[in-house]
């Protein structure tokens, strides 16, 4: 059984304990988020890969079916093969290739822009962290200076002999 002296803490001890507990609990929450983050990143990556595979499959299946339909339909096949249609088909193929190349260039530019933004955000988080540390150090020095000044002022007004 503990004595009442053991179970009662000074207000300063309670405050220190409160800050220690707050620090510990906030750190636990951040550590938990850090622990599950790789799983979330992997799950998102897996989902993206499934979408890519499904899109690729849908394109291959659809174009294969259309090609099969065109080859088996004599009316459609005669239109495509005719000499009068050849320049139009070639123009359509060129436009399709040009559009595809433009989309790929746009995606590459967007990709680089996105990476640059993410890297800038990462640097901003680092700067924020350094700012928090510098502010904490400044505030700590301010408290030390204030406490030191307060103590010396208090000593000046404290009667000698007490």
Which pair of tokens denotes residue 86?
A: 């050849």
> How many domains are contained in the chain?
2
pLDDT at 69 over 60: yes
Cα–Cα–Cα angle for 54, 56, 57, rounded to 5 degrees: 65
Rg from Cα positions in the chain: 36
Residue 47 lies in a domain: yes
Residues 90 and 155 in one domain: yes
Of 53, 81, 109, the residue that ends a domain is 81
Residues 61 and 98 in one domain: no
Residue 1 lies in a domain: no
Average pLDDT, the chain: 87
Of 62, 81, 100, the residue that ends a domain is 81
**Inter-residue contact 80 to 89 (CB < 8 Å):** yes
Residues 44 and 115 in one domain: no
**Inter-residue contact 45 to 53 (CB < 8 Å):** no
Residue 95 lies in a domain: yes
| pLDDT at residue 105, rounded to an integer | 98
Of 81, 107, 139, the residue that ends a domain is 81
Domain that holds residue 19: 11-81
HSE (side-chain half, CA atoms, 13 Å) at 159: 2
Question: Per-residue pLDDT tens for 48-57?
Answer: 999 999 999 9
Question: Per-residue pLDDT tens for 78-102?
Answer: 656 677 778 888 999 999 999 999 9
- The position carrying tokens 């990462």 is 122
Residues 92 and 73 in one domain: no
Residues 55 and 100 in one domain: no
Residues 112 and 55 in one domain: no
pLDDT at 4 over 60: no
Residues 26 and 75 in one domain: yes
| pLDDT at residue 15, rounded to an integer | 74
Sequence-separated (6 or more) residues with CB below 8 Å from residue 32: none
pLDDT band at 39 (very low <50, low <70, confident <90, very high): very high
Query: Residue 79 burial by CB count (10 A; 0-12/13-18/19+): exposed, middle or buried?
Result: middle
Residues 93 and 75 in one domain: no
Distance CA 108, CA 95 (A): 20
Residues 77 and 90 in one domain: no
- For the residues 4-26, what does the mean pLDDT come to? 78
Which pair of tokens denotes residue 138?
A: 């400044």
pTM (two decimals): 0.62
């Amino acid at each position: 059984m503990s004595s009442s002296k053991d179970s009662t803490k000074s207000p300063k001890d309670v405050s220190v304990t409160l800050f220690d507990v707050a620090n510990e609990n906030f750190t636990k929450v951040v550590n938990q988020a850090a622990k599950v983050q790789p799983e979330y990143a992997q799950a998102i990556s897996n989902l993206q890969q499934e979408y890519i595979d499904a899109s690729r499959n849908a394109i291959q299946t659809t174009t294969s079916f259309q090609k099969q339909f065109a080859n088996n339909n004599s009316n459609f096949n005669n239109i495509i093969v005719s000499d009068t249609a050849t320049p139009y088909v070639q123009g359509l193929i060129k436009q399709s290739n040009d559009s595809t190349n433009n989309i790929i260039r746009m995606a590459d530019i967007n990709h680089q822009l996105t990476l640059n933004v993410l890297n800038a955000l990462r640097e901003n988080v680092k700067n924020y962290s350094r700012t928090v540390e510098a502010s904490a150090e400044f505030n700590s020095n301010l408290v030390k200076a204030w406490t030191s000044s307060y103590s010396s002022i208090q000593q000046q007004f404290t009667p000698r002999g007490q």
